[in-house]
Structure formats: structure tokens, C-alpha cells
Amino acid sequence: MTTSEQISEICDAIAREFKVSPIVAARRALDLRLIDQPRFFAFYRAYQNDERRKAAKTKGGGDFYNNQNVRLGKRFARAVMLAAKEGRLLYREAYSLTGLQGMTFDKYAKELNISL
């Protein structure tokens, strides 16, 4: 007999190996009849209530616009955006050069203090 804790450890190991979530690993074990439904749902409830998982989920990610400063460089981005604003460059070309489009392009321009 496997305990809920053992199922959790096994599913975590399988999840790391196959790069899926532990829930997917447990569900596959259920589908293959390696565990029964009560054990799966006990694992599922424990997983949902796991404080470590909740804490990891609430961590913030990176800032998209700060990443653009590194990816494009502020100087290049400003030059492209000013050229588009002044009509020396089509917006279609500016979008292509920066990899940004529409509202994302406009918001990034505002981040750089350029009003379009």
C-alpha cells in the first residue's frame, strides 16, 4: 500500500522527469489503474492545499517593458519610435523592427516618454 505522501513523492519525481505537473502524473497513474480514485483525489486535495505551491505561484515575474529595454536597447527603440512619429518610417516597419505591435508599441513608447 502506498501512502498519500509516497504518491506525492512519486508524482513529483515523474513530473520532473517528463516536465509535466504532478497532477498530470497522478492523473496518468489513475488512468493506468496504478492508483485508485480515492487516493488520486486525496492527492489532488493535498496538492491544491500545498502552501509551498501557493507561495511559488504568487511570486512575481519579470517586467515586459524592462525586458524590451535590454532586448532592443533604449537608444534604438527611441530612434525607431521617433522616426515613426515623425513620418520618416512607416509604423508597419517600426513594428517589424521592434517586434512590438499596436497598443504594446504605444505603451512602450509611453514608457520611453515618447508621445505618439
- Residue 116 in any domain: the answer is no
- The answer to whether the CB of 23 falls within 8 A of the CB of 31 is no
Residues 9, 51, single domain; the answer is: yes
Domains identified in the chain, total number: 2
Q: pTM for the whole thing?
A: 0.49
Q: Cα–Cα–Cα angle for 64, 83, 67, nearest 5°?
A: 15
Residues 103, 75, single domain; the answer is: yes
- Does residue 15 surpass a pLDDT of 80? yes
Domain of 8, in residue numbers: 4-57
DSSP secondary structure of 41-109: HHHHHHHHT-HHHHHHHTS----HHHHHHHHH-HHHHHHHHHHHHHTSS-HHHHHHHHT--HHHHHHHH
Residues 42, 80, single domain; the answer is: no
User: 10 Å Cβ neighbour count for 114?
Assistant: 16
| Structure confidence by residue, pLDDT tens digits, 55-102 | 666 666 788 888 999 999 999 999 999 999 999 999 999 999 999 999
How far lies 34's CA from each of 2, 41, 45, 95, in Å? 10, 14, 18, 52
